[in-house]
Chains A and B, each alone.
Chain A
């Protein structure tokens, strides 16, 4: 079955700490990968996406993610977090098919302490 796992459900960091959030997905075919962020009270916003090409993708606000096909992973990273990064982060995968729907991970709630 198609599934997406995010191993960190709740992460607490101090400002300037480095961040890495794990995301693994099932199935080994061609996938499109996404990280979305949801700030408190706001809608899901796209942080970054991978369709093909360079497996290291850079997104908005200093975030990046690396697609490692052999590990079925797409981990999100940021070298130095800020208080404003406090939000919930969702990994999502498009496995293709007729509708290109997204399968989401359970989300990681990040709290950055000033």
Chain B
């Protein structure tokens, strides 16, 4: 089955700096890669996603890149703010009318004011 590895497990940045979280996946059939943000005690919330026919996607301060050949994808947050502090999960799944989503182990991001 699919295996998703995520690094780093914790990340501290100064407010205004950029943060990068990296993930690798094992199953070349995976072609949908969502990223979720989970604040303490709250539900995971989808913040951005990318499909395999796209190499990069941006949404304001958030961007995701995908390298299908290397099976790598990354989340980039620019101009970080204290409210960006949370646990971020990358995930991977395959098309086919079903969406078994395999999650990474999470990155705890702390933005220091």
Question: Do the two chains belong together in a single complex?
Answer: no
Interface residues of B (CB under 8 A from A): none
Q: Which residues of A contact B (CB under 8 A)?
A: none
